[in-house]
Amino acid sequence: MKKFLPILFTSMLFVCISFDIAMCKEYDFQRFFSKKVRLEPGTVVVLDNPVGEIHLTNIDPQLGPYMMVKQRVFAAADELAKCRYMVMTVRMDISRRPDTLALDAIFPTHMYEKFCFPDMSGFFGSEVSKIWKGSQFIVSPRKGVKLWSDVYLEVPKGTKVLIRSVAMGLVIEDFVGDLELYTDHASAMTAGSIDGNLWLTACHGALSVGGFKGDLFYYGEDSDLSFCDVINGKISAESVSGDLIWTATTDSLEILELKSISGNIILDGEVGENTVLLNDEGDIEIILELPIGDSLYCTNPNGDIYLKAPENFAKTIKARASEGRIKHNLTGDDKSISTQLKGSQGAVVLDSERGDIKIKLISID
């Protein structure tokens, strides 16, 4: 039997601001809610928040086995009374289940069919349609009611968090724990100072990960993924049409695997022991300044491959272009090369069927 926690409004604040837009006055209204909840060891926190921004971090250890959940409900409309009414239609339900604490942001999807979330602009210009809690609704960057829920979570170190959303912005900072994320649109998502495992699924938008240590698994459709700062652990990322961009450094990167179908793969940073770059139609660009680890394997049947690196970045290199051409200054022809380099370790394989391969090795003298 489900046990429902009472929702206590321990902190609530109402704010109203009015301004003129194109000769038409628009009001906005906000409601704030916060609650401290006891969290048993091993409990998974599940947050369902269809539209809004989510912040995730660790709580102060001195507070003991508790988590903090804070919610800001925002609404804007042409009448103040309408704004006040709209924010009151959104609430946060908190319930306990075996090994799970569920946080459910209840939205009035029975009243509104389209929600406007301006943070979607610039990353994905179209609308997102979704069935959520049995109701079909649309999130748009420009049209619809301006009503969303921003949620701030502070959880104990080591907690696993599962987040489900339709359109969101995500900020993770100073977080030790595991995260699973499922969203249709991720707008300007950033993640930094994370120690744990991440499972990320985003259909549209953009994601940036930096300061990460752990195992990361990513799947995106029309969404870009970029890595920066220091990345350690195991990385496996796959995108259908979005770009995969690696500009990170590393101290201990076991596996780096980037796959795409029609997006571009750009690698301009340090790589680990084993690196695999797989593309189908987009281009692959590799720019290295330091030697690789054990291997670098790159295949792109229908796109081009560009490699720029110091002449000692690997021990051997093989390249093949069946229908395309290889442009290089190494031993071999314009279809196939296999030669020794000046590095002490590392094997490189570049393979393309119909695309071209360009290799530029920089002298270290």
CB contact at 8 A, 255 and 234: yes
| pLDDT given for residue 204 in this prediction | 83
128-180 tens-digit pLDDT: 888 998 899 999 988 999 999 999 999 999 999 999 999 998 899 899 999 99
Hey, what are 290's tokens?
Answer: 């330091």
Rounded Cα gap, residues 141 and 116, in angstroms: 5
| pLDDT given for residue 20 in this prediction | 44
Rounded to 10 degrees, what is the CA torsion of 74, 48, 152, 178? Answer: -160
Rounded Cα gap, residues 323 and 285, in angstroms: 19
Confidence label for 19 from pLDDT (cuts 50, 70 and 90): very low
Confidence label for 70 from pLDDT (cuts 50, 70 and 90): very high
Hey, what are 109's tokens?
Answer: 């999807």
Rounded to 10 degrees, what is the CA torsion of 262, 268, 272, 277? Answer: 20
Sign of CA dihedral 165, 166, 168, 173: positive
CB contact at 8 A, 123 and 112: no
| pLDDT given for residue 188 in this prediction | 59
| pLDDT given for residue 121 in this prediction | 57
Helix (H, G, I), strand (E, B) or coil at 240: coil
Helix (H, G, I), strand (E, B) or coil at 63: helix
Is the per-residue pLDDT at 13 higher than 50? Answer: no
Residue linked to tokens 């987009």: 282
DSSP 121: T
Rounded Cα gap, residues 129 and 137, in angstroms: 6
CB contact at 8 A, 286 and 264: no
246-292 tens-digit pLDDT: 999 999 999 999 999 999 999 999 998 999 999 999 999 999 999 99
CB contact at 8 A, 138 and 144: yes
Distance between start and end Cα atoms, the chain: 73
Who contacts 134 (Cβ-Cβ below 8 Å, separation ≥6)?
none
Tell me which residue of 183, 192, 199 sits closest to 234, measured CA to CA: 199
CB contact at 8 A, 221 and 240: yes
Hey, what are 288's tokens?
Answer: 């290295």
DSSP 75: E
CB contact at 8 A, 104 and 93: yes
80-122 tens-digit pLDDT: 999 999 999 999 999 998 899 999 999 999 999 999 998 875 5
Confidence label for 24 from pLDDT (cuts 50, 70 and 90): low
Burial class (CB in 10 A: 0-12, 13-18, 19+), 29: buried
Helix (H, G, I), strand (E, B) or coil at 289: coil
Side chain identity, residue 284: I
As a whole-number percent, the residues of the chain with pLDDT over 70 amount to: 91
Q: For the chain, how many residues are written?
A: 365
Is the per-residue pLDDT at 192 higher than 80? Answer: no
| pLDDT given for residue 93 in this prediction | 96
Rounded Cα gap, residues 152 and 35, in angstroms: 11
| pLDDT given for residue 22 in this prediction | 46
39-50 tens-digit pLDDT: 999 999 999 999
| Structural domain boundaries in the chain | 1-164
Average pLDDT, the chain: 89
Who contacts 21 (Cβ-Cβ below 8 Å, separation ≥6)?
none
214-240 tens-digit pLDDT: 999 999 988 889 999 999 999 999 999
Residue linked to tokens 């259908």: 240
Rg (CA), the chain: 24
Confidence label for 1 from pLDDT (cuts 50, 70 and 90): very low
Helix (H, G, I), strand (E, B) or coil at 87: helix
| pLDDT given for residue 356 in this prediction | 96
